[in-house]
Amino acid sequence: MSTGQRHNALSSTTNIPRRLEKKKRNTMSAVMEKVHDKLSQAGDAIQDSSLLSNAKVASIKADMVDGHAKSQKMTTDFGVTLPETASNAWLRVVDGEGRQGPMLLEDSIGREKIHRFDHERIPERVVHARGAGAFGYFKLKESAEDVTHANVLTNTSLTTPVFVRFSTVLGSRGSADTVRDVRGFAVKFYTQEGNWDIVGNDIPVFFIQDAIKFPDLIHAAKPEPDNEVPQGQSAHNNFWDFNILHSEATHMLMWAMSDRGIPRSYRMMQGFGVNTFTLTNAAGERSFVKFHFKPELGVHSLVWDEALKISGQDPDFHRKDLEEAIKNGAPAKWDFGIQVISESQQDAFEFDILDATKIWPEELVPVRYIGELVLDRCVDEYFSQTEQVAFCTSHVVPGIGFSDDPLLQGRNFSYFDTQITRLGINWQELPINRPVCPYLNMNRDGAMRHRITKGKVNYWPNRFEGTAPVRTAEEASAIPAYKEYPQQVVGIKQRLQAPKFKEHFNQATLFWNSMTAIEKLHIIKAFSFELSHCDDEAVFNNACARLADIDVELAKAVAEKVGGVMPDQLSGSRRQNHGKKSAFLSQMVFIPKEPTIKSRRVAILIADGYDKAFVTAAKAALTAAGAVPLVIGPKRSYIYAEGETRGTKGHGVWADHHFEDQRSTLFDAVLLPPGSHATSLTTNGRVIHWIKESFGHLKPIGAVGSSVKLVKKALLPLVEAADEDSREVVDSYGVVTVGGLDGGITEALNIVKGAKSFMGSFAYRISMHRCWERELEGLVDQVAF
């Protein structure tokens, strides 16, 4: 045998294991692909079956094509079918020896592809550029006919299709989801009387009272003009310079520096219309209204260190979360409510009800919850739907109108204007934006006009009496027409503010007083982080002085951290804390009606030698309760239980991720099963870091049997842990441990406070979101993570 033959034989022999492994990987890849396809089909079927009656989804079906269809071959934009060579190579000159020559401009196919690519981008939104959206519906549960004649708010038999877009405000389209920022919460109701848009935020107030200041606000908040730094955050000189010199922003700053600025999920934040609108009932009586959305799952937030890390580890965290929940059968839900003030009571409060920097305290104006908003269908294509959806505060339907809120008045102009810039004058013809009700008028032409309107006339009045407005009472009773409220206006033109608009601090102090101890601690830390990034002494000193107008102790705590001026160093007298509180401002009061772990992500850490019976039962119990358990192992591959043989069919569990590619930041809780694998996990530094980081981020940790020693290695003496032979469940600061289980795990979890079982106690801790006592008692400060 020649040297070459021996080499080939040797190579062939040594490659047998590699080929077998490759074949196994390919087989597994095919299996996983089939599983993925089945799950995708099941998810699509669930979405389709849940929305067969959704008029909006039905209306856009005609504009949809299937990008996976094998029956449709690739064509040009003008419909000519393409050969494979046209998708791979530009038309060019090739000589007789196969040498390439110049490319030819006559290649219309190549030119079309490049031209289309060069023009794919449209101007991104100046604010709210980064967003995520979903379809769903609004169901009215209680008629509000006493205050409005809007059909969508009076007819309880209706189910109204909606599209909702969530967003950050400051960052570009490519920025991260979990930065500290206000979140947009925009809802488009496709009603039978036209589109109604609530273009709101997750915070009920705003930085400015008058729309004319909006360009200055955004210029100051965006990256600084000399170096385009920083991206998508407020921790810089210009933001704080403007907002501190602009005292009406004080209340909003308190909300933004609270945990509301770093939500755990779009599904776990409130929504607010922010501005004051009006409602008019059938009798012609007008009221003022604010709109509210309260999440079914409660209001929950990340912790700051976690938010920072997720921005790098998974910048799309909130987008993925929304999609994952919907596809796992956990649609996002909110209760819809209204706050109503009669016209006669407009001046009855110490604040001006038209001031967007003020809330209407619920003790004075209760929220009346009358409906439910549900998001249960993911978008089909991001650009065509989420990016091209366009909202306007001026889009209201009969029975809903505008107040003299000066911020709203400016928004009504600005939003319409900006959509023309982004999408062109015919933006309302786009499938995502067009109404589901019949619509027709004399507006014509313009760039990218899609609609074809037949007929000889394009004006009113016309000899055919075609496309006439509603002209008679009889017609109006059949087709409600929009009618402005006949408001009497008397005055003189001048650039002045109403007297009550000049008070800027009372509600900022009310907000601070209403926070729990942990929320106050987080607000102090947030101000300290932001102002420490301001290197201009005038900026952080002015900010510390402003905080003294809210609360002296708050100002002291922040000034000490950032090296700012102390309250006792300030000249003149400072405002005294009025001591008032509200029971409706802390996010801790917004919790689910019943404890739930629905859509919560639980990481199950295992290695070879795990306890199969426990892991199987735990996954089943968590899944049955609506949680999303994911197996994390040393590598993404099969992990084998005690007593199983590697490579044997039917043995092993597939790890969803490995310890390095997913971190504890992306989960709500960590579960450590029993088994001999605990020995190897104890020597794995990344696993120990998982436990410490989860503890530092205040997340529940569960450990059973031999895995209790992992907890002891990572966290003793900060917490207590069960002995390995004990059957008593120990809950120490949300670290739930037990030595062994008698009777195994039942699939139905009893999620109640004081649960006696291990899984019940662990699940209850997950339902409480975080273990705040760790931070309040200083344990977090003793752990490096």
**For residues 347 and 303, is the Cβ–Cβ distance under 8 A?**
no
Distance of CA 272 to the CA centre of its chain: 14
The residues spanned by each domain of the chain are 133-295+327-429, 503-589, 601-782
Q: Is 467 exposed, middle or buried (0-12, 13-18, 19+ CB in 10 A)?
A: middle
Determine if the peptide bond prior to 461 is cis (ω within 30°). Answer: yes
Q: Mind listing the pLDDT tens digit for each residue in 430-442? A: 999 999 999 999 9
- Which residues have a Cβ under 8 Å from the Cβ of 465 and sit 6 or more positions away? none
As a whole number of angstroms, the distance between CA 508 and CA 496 comes to: 23
Rounded to an integer, what distance in angstroms lies between the CA atom of residue 409 and that of residue 426?
Answer: 23
CB of 380 closer than 8 Å to CB of 356: no
DSSP 222-242: SSBTTTTBSSS---SHHHHHH
The per-residue DSSP string of 643-658 comes to T--TT-TT--EE-SEE
3-class secondary-structure state, position 197: strand
Provide the Cα torsion 10, 14, 18, 19; round to 10°: 50
- Strand (E) or helix (H) holding 399: none
Contacts of 163 (CB under 8 A, 6+ apart): 56, 133, 134, 135, 136, 187, 188, 190, 385, 389, 432
The span from the first CA to the last CA of the chain, in angstroms, equals 61
- Contact predicate 413/498, CB 8 Å: no
Buried b (16+ CB within 10 A) or exposed e, 141-169: eeebbebbbbbbbbeeeeebbbbbbbbbb
Tokens representing 571 are 């000249």
- Is 75 in a helix, a strand, or coil? strand
Q: Measure CA 639 to chain center.
A: 34
Helix (H, G, I), strand (E, B) or coil at 369: strand
> What pLDDT shows up at residue 478?
85
Beta strand pairing status for 730-732 and 400-402?
unpaired
With left for phi above 0 and alpha for psi between -120 and 50, is residue 442 left, alpha or beta? alpha
Give the DSSP per-residue string, 303-344. Answer: -HHHHHHHHHH-TTHHHHHHHHHHHTT--EEEEEEEEEEEGG
Q: How far apart are CA 157 and CA 143, in angstroms?
A: 10
User: Are the C-beta atoms of residues 102 and 348 closer than 8 Å to each other?
Assistant: no
Distance CA 108, CA 532 (A): 57
pLDDT value at residue 429: 97
Which 3-state string (H, E, C) describes 23-70?
A: HHHHHHHHHHHHHHHHHHHHHHHHHHHHCCCCHHHHHHHCCCCCCCCC
Report the distance separating Cα 90 and Cα 38, nearest Å.
Answer: 38
Which amino acid is present at 275? Answer: N
pLDDT, residue 235, reads 97
List of residues 6+ apart from 462 with CB closer than 8 A:
none
Residues with a catalytic annotation lie at 128, 201
Query: What is the SS3 assignment for 623?
Result: helix
Q: Are the CB atoms for 546 and 247 separated by under 8 Å?
A: yes
Kindly provide the b/e burial profile for residues 244-278, where b requires at least 16 CB atoms within 10 angstroms of the residue's own CB.
Answer: bebbbbbbbbbbbbbbbbbbbbbbbbbbbbbbbbb
Closest to 665 measured CA to CA, from 313, 177, 259:
313
Residue 35, amino acid: V
In sequence order, which residues have a C-beta less than 8 Å from that of residue 386 and are 6 or more positions away? 131, 132, 133, 165, 379
| Per-residue DSSP letter, 685 | H
CATH number, span 601-782: 3.40.50.880
CB 372 within 8 A of CB 141: yes
Q: Which H or E run includes 610?
A: none
Fold of 133-295+327-429: Catalase HpII,  Chain A, domain 1 (2.40.180)
Output the six-digit token pair for 674. 């029993």
Task: Give the number of residues written for the chain.
Answer: 785
List beta partners, residue 229: 224
DSSP assignment of 558-602 equals: HHHHHT---GGGSSS--PPP-----TTSSGGG---SS---TT-EE
Q: Is 459 annotated as a binding residue?
A: no
Residues 413, 395: contact at Cβ < 8 Å? no
Cis peptide before 567 (omega within 30 of 0): no
Written as one letter, the residue type at 630 is L
How much is the pLDDT for 742?
A: 82
The amino acid present at 662, given as its one-letter code, is Q
Strands 368-378 and 735-738: unpaired
Q: Are 313 and 181 in contact (CB under 8 A)?
A: no
* Cα gap 695→601, rounded to integer Å: 16
Q: Domain 503-589 in CATH: superfamily?
A: Catalase, four-helical domain (1.20.1370.20)
DSSP per-residue string spanning 447-506: TT------SS--SSS-TT-TTPPP-SHHHHHHS-------------------GGGG--SH
Query: How far apart are alpha carbons 731 and 771 in whole angstroms?
Result: 11
- Which residues, including other chains, have CB under 8 Å from residue 60's CB and lie 6 or more apart? 431, 432
- The set of residues, in sequence order, having a beta carbon less than 8 Å from that of 634 and lying 6+ positions away, is 607, 655, 658, 659, 684
Q: Provide the β-strand partners of residue 272.
A: 201, 292
CB atoms within 10 A of CB 31: 11
738, containing H or E segment: strand 735-738
Helix (H) or strand (E) holding 189: strand 183-191
Instruction: Specify the pTM.
Output: 0.92
Q: Which positions of the chain have pLDDT values less than 70?
A: 1-53
Antiparallel, parallel or unpaired: β 286-295 and 277-280: antiparallel
Contact between 687 and 605 under an 8 Å Cβ cutoff? The reply is yes
